[in-house]
């Protein structure tokens, strides 16, 4: 018998860095409890190479990661989401689709590493910082018993610095 897993969608605007990183971390660390997905309101169509490199350097699988529209998760036949988390301020302000089942939602704002300008070391440091913020929040989520995950707790996790 397969145990029940909570379906969680990470949203961002471009779905190329932060939401992809969050999806990969949760898939890797919480795959027995969660089905992790990510999407964007205006997907860029490709995953940022720095995000893929960062995940690979931490031995987090990147197979199957792709930049996709949130429309894939809002239409007929899409999996029902129990939790929807925005990871960028733009996506948090946008008018999101109506998610069937009224999932719990929260905002876990993380600065966009993909817009950081400068040399390669500065850009890598921005991706590392985004990874650490998301990993810390996902770690807090994974420490919770399933029955204690609710909208208020998700928002409290998002307010952690």
Q: Is 37 a catalytic residue?
A: no
Q: Is 26 helix (H, G, I), strand (E, B) or coil?
A: helix
Write the CB contacts of 93 (distance below 8 Å, at least 6 apart in sequence). Answer: none
Q: Is 113 helix (H, G, I), strand (E, B) or coil?
A: helix
Q: Is 12 a catalytic residue?
A: yes
Catalytic residue, candidates 8, 12, 83, 104: 12
Catalytic residue, candidates 88, 106, 130, 141: 88
- How far, in whole angstroms, is CA 90 from its chain's centroid? 14
d(C-alpha 154, C-alpha 148), whole Å: 10
Q: What is the DSSP letter of 69?
A: B
Yes or no: say if 110 and 137 are a contact pair by the CB < 8 Å rule. Answer: no
The residue among 5, 7, 6, 8 whose CA lies nearest residue 134 is: 8
Catalytic residue, candidates 96, 116, 125, 140: 96
Active site residues: 12, 88, 96
């Amino acid at each position: 018998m397969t145990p029940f897993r909570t379906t969680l969608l990470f949203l961002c605007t471009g779905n190329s860095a932060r939401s992809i990183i969050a999806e990969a971390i949760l898939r890797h660390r919480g795959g027995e409890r969660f089905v992790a997905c990510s999407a964007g309101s205006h997907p860029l169509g490709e995953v940022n190479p720095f995000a893929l490199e960062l995940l690979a350097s931490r031995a987090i699988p990147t197979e199957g990661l792709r930049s996709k529209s949130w429309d894939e998760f809002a239409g007929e036949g899409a999996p029902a989401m129990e939790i929807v988390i925005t990871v960028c301020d733009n996506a948090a302000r946008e008018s999101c689709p109506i998610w069937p089942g009224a999932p719990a939602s929260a905002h876990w704002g993380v600065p966009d590493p993909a817009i950081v300008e400068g040399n390669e070391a500065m850009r890598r440091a921005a991706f590392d910082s985004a990874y650490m913020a998301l990993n810390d929040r996902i770690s807090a989520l994974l420490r919770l018993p399933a029955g204690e995950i609710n909208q208020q707790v998700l928002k409290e996790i998002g307010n952690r610095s």
